[in-house]
Amino acid sequence: MPLMKSWVASANSAETPFPLNNLPYGVFSLADEDPRCGVAIGDMILDIAALEAAGLIELDAEAVFDLPFWNQVMELGPEVWANLRARLQEMLAEGSGDQATITPYLVPQADAQLHMPFKVSEYTDFYAGRQHAENMGAILRGSPDLPANWLHIPIGYNGRASSVVVSGTEITRPNGQSKAPDADRPSFGPSKRLDIELEMGAIVGTPSDFGAPVTVDQADAMIFGFVLLNDWSARDIQGWEYQPLGPFQGKAFGTSISPWIVTKAALEPFRVPTPAREKALLPYLDGTIDGLYDIALEVLMQPEGATKATSICKTNAKRLYYSAAEQLCHHASGGCGMNAGDLLGSGTISGPEKSEFGSLMELSWAGRTPLTLDTGETRTFIEDNDTLILRGAALGDGYQIGFGTCEGTIRPAVKFPA
């Protein structure tokens, strides 16, 4: 699909992540105004809440865009999603008769503050990157062999919805218990092995009933859109606590997402198949639709005071083994009811080359091979006041479908009360 031309000039640049082909959804505010729904187009935001108030767009009998989240729109279902996207593209397309009417409702992104684009109902994180799973096995167990269940089942754990924050939110280094290999007992204090995980986040748009499983194809239709996701991880805290029940405090202190929801419709031209299965999946995980997306991803690190960030990883979302639809199908297979606004983390996305490793645990091989940044500084794990930046875009013919950055700065741990 070629670039769709818009009368918003900045949307026609190959450099913008927000052409007319994209139209991602977010929540913004200006000055002291209340946050409300907006749509990114080029370097502008279409104030869709103001459009609705003026009677220029209507999805429901009641207002749905004057809220600080997109959940109300999600709950209206896929047919309404499709109609909204078609109407927005019609209004903003080159030669549209709506230009004079719509122009007053555009505001510069540079003047806006971005907020959480949706209300996270619940959060589940998966472990769907095969290279990452093999690397972690090699690091932690001395063997890249996968767990016996890994090729049969999308492994995941239930996280904390309260931990999910929008890009730009500072993350406080967590305190917790850890135990050095040569210590007799654990100690308590700030994490010394703080890490990132490069992931995609899928947002459930339509719910499923409690007790009712869904097929992979039904699960695909339930997905509203995607965000970039940084699953901040305290490796030392996680390593001590995770057996036998999995991650807990080592993952509960922060999860960052990008501020714009890229709709599944915008990513349709970039669908790719999941990898060939080494072991056939059980029939309930069969689907008829290619479930992954060709999205180029990058991680950058910027120490405090550095004039630029260093690129430390470049990989692609098509490296995943399980699709979001397969993960959602499995999640609901036992009768777990899914909600509008549920967030599913993909798991760390890594590729076969070191330059594609999506975590510092892999890039430094658990601290044994430090990274050298462009500043000359070295890192094994994240230090206080380091900023980590995730970027991603599906690359089309003369355009890109971007997410905005997913950025977070680590601040020093809070001193625990005596």
Active site amino acids: 132
- Quick one: how many helices (H) and strands (E) in the chain? 10, 27
Q: 3-state DSSP call for residue 330?
A: helix
Q: Computed over its alpha carbons, how large is the radius of gyration of the chain?
A: 21
Determine contact, residues 95/15, Cβ cutoff 8 Å. Answer: no
Tokens of 318: 């098509």
Residues 6+ positions from 364 with CB-CB distance below 8 Å: 370, 371, 379, 380, 381
CA dihedral sign of residues 231, 236, 240, 243: positive
DSSP state at residue 325: H
Q: Which residues pair with 315 in a beta bridge?
A: 297
CA dihedral sign of residues 324, 297, 350, 191: negative
Q: What are phi and psi of 371, to 5 degrees?
A: -85, 145
CB count, 10 Å around CB of 253? 21
259 burial via Cβ count (<10 Å: 0-12, 13-18, 19+):
buried
